[in-house]
Chains A and B, each alone.
Chain A
Amino acid sequence: MNYINNASLLKRQLIVRFARLMFAGKLKERIDYLPMQQAPRDVAAVRCCVHHDRAVIRYRLIALLGFAIENEKPEDEARSLASYAEEAETLGESRLAGSVLTVIDEACSACIRANYRVTNACRGCVARPCIMNCPKSCISFENGHALIDEKVCISCGICAKVCPYHSIIYQPIPCEEACPVDAITQDERGKEDIDATKCINCGKCLQACPFGAIMERSEIFEILRAITNPAEPTVALIAPSIIGQFNTSLGKLVTALRRLGFDHVAEVAWGADLAAEKETAELIERLEHGQTCMTSSCCPAYVEAVDKHLKTIKPLVSDTLSPMQYTGEWAGRQWPGARRIFIGPCIAKRAEARRSPHIENTLTYEELGSFFIAAGIDVTECEESKADLEASSVGRKFAVSGGVSAAITRAAAAGGHAVTEKVINGLDTKSLATLKAIDKIVKPGTFIEVMSCEGGCINGPGVISNPVVARRFLEKMLEEKQP
């Protein structure tokens, strides 16, 4: 869930500092000072000491430069950040290959090792069934209380079951609990590893980690370079959920993007309009051929979940491209050679974009907001202007759950086809189980919208606004548009 989270605020502050250096053309000269500036000596440390804080910040910067921390060699600990910046330049985008997420060892290892913990409700009873029944003999007694050795415990839960006072509790590891597909697990040292063959890039682990240990491998280095280079044409492809992210109108935001250095601005909601049209035609055709139902394809985390975990329902997934890809394709024809940068709330889209020929880079709202601060641009004070490519309110509603299915059932009805809609609002183990047999559950003639994020993209991992606020804002704006 989206709640106020200090870890993400600290990340934004760091991106502001990073972007300021890029705007000043001083990244390589000054990047090694950033950990000291972000965690100065005279401010109380978050971790054990200021040096540990700085070590974590250093890794965050490495991830912001696009590198995977897992690839670091032991001797790299002594490397300067300037040398990473240098390497980012020489390697270019080839360094971005592999998973879009990376885990900061230094931050992650502060987490719990075992899932069971003895609380102070322990009475130190005579029966001591916890000790008697632990298969690993990892419980001892200290000051009249049972104590679990976290390093030996295998989290089998027997002790919790047998305690007559229910004094042993189950404590989930936040990222593991959040992951819908069991892709993230602890290694023998207690650090989390993401299994790329299982991971669907939904970003739920990143949102869940209270230490901010999971980072995206960002593309801000190339994006900032491109938008500050007047010779390089750039297109901002803004996702429908951008409405409501800055508490201001779309028109002001368009101006702010241009002031930041984007040459063109295109609404991805235009591609959503197109995708809705194509998906409706596809649905009707499939139903006529005897298929019972079809699911949406616009959420890449869902599509990856099907490819990796629900292969049997693959034939039910629409073949329509995502709105991002259609808009990117259009922008490629309109402005050949321009760098097309998708701006959205989504990590799965980052992975999708890296596979797509129609998108060069992706940026999150968090990152964009930090760029505005660094450039001294206040979006609310910009004048209104129009995007180069605009959309209808149908496409704009793709940002909230229910928007896609509403668009498609309405379009089908207009063509004389009665279609039932079903919305899978958020992926978790339960909804994945439902999806597995979805064609047996729904009525024949159903369109199923699936979004990985509960509430839709307005609750994506890279958003700024609280999704409740963003939804209100979006609804208000769409009402004003069409009385």
Chain B
Amino acid sequence: MAKKFKITICSGTTCYVLGGAQLMMLADSIPAELKDQVEIVDSNCIKACHFENAQPPFVQINDYLMSQASVAKVVDYLRKHLQEQA
């Protein structure tokens, strides 16, 4: 079965230094009920930081680009959207 959420964590240098380092803990923080719904990958710079006034770190969840991402924000997003689509 395809996973519901594909999460791409940007670990390009800009994102990583400006808060993205903590996102490497995301896999450890996904609640049990969501575990088999998500696939997490990290990637080189996804180029979102190249825009003026960009607010790194970035995480891409399916089509949604989250700026100033944090573990808590991502988990919150997953919870909300799991219910919406269910």
Binding site for B on A (CB under 8 A): 3-4, 9, 12-13, 246-247, 256, 366, 369-370, 372-373, 377-381, 464-466, 468-469
Contact = CB atoms under 8 A, between A and B. Distances in A.
Contacts of A469: 21, 24-25
B44 to A, nearest CB: 5
B37 to A, nearest CB: 23
- 7 tightest Cβ-Cβ pairs between the two chains A and B: A369-B17, A469-B24, A4-B22, A247-B11, A378-B13, A465-B21, A379-B13
Contacts of B18: 9, 12-13, 373
A246 B19 contact: no
> For chain B, which range describes its interface: under 10, 10 to 19, 20 to 34, or 35 or more residues?
10 to 19
B53 to A, nearest CB: 10
A256 B19 CA distance: 20
Contacts of B67: none
B17 A4 contact: no
A372 B28 CA distance: 28
A247 B24 CA distance: 9
A380 B22 contact: no
B52 to A, nearest CB: 13
Secondary structure class of chain A's binding surface, majority of residues: helix
B8 interface: no
B27 to A, nearest CB: 10
Nearest to B45: A378
B42 interface: yes
A464 B16 contact: yes
Interface string B15-48: 0111101101100100000000000001011000
Contacts of B12: 378, 380-381
B70 interface: yes
Given A380-B11, A469-B25, A464 B45 contact: no
B40 to A, nearest CB: 13
Contact of B13 (A3, A366, A372, A465): A372
Interface of B: 11-14, 16-19, 21-22, 24-25, 28, 42, 44-45, 70-71
A246 B16 CA distance: 7
A153 B51 CA distance: 51
Contacts of A4: 19, 22, 70-71
Given A373-B14, A373-B18, A378-B14, A465 B44 contact: no
Contacts of A247: 11, 16, 21, 24, 42
A381 B44 contact: yes
Contacts of A370: 17
A366 B18 CA distance: 9
Nearest to B20: A247
Contacts of A366: 17
Nearest to A4: B22
B18 to A, nearest CB: 6
B13 A466 contact: no
B73 to A, nearest CB: 11
Contact of A468 (B11, B19, B25, B44): B25
A469 B29 CA distance: 13
Nearest to A463: B21
A9 B11 contact: no
Given A247-B42, A378-B12, A466 B17 contact: no
A185 B64 CA distance: 47
B17 A12 contact: yes
Most A Cβ at <10 Å: residue of B14, B25, B70, B71: B14
A9 B19 contact: yes
Most A Cβ at <10 Å: residue of B17, B19, B22, B71: B17
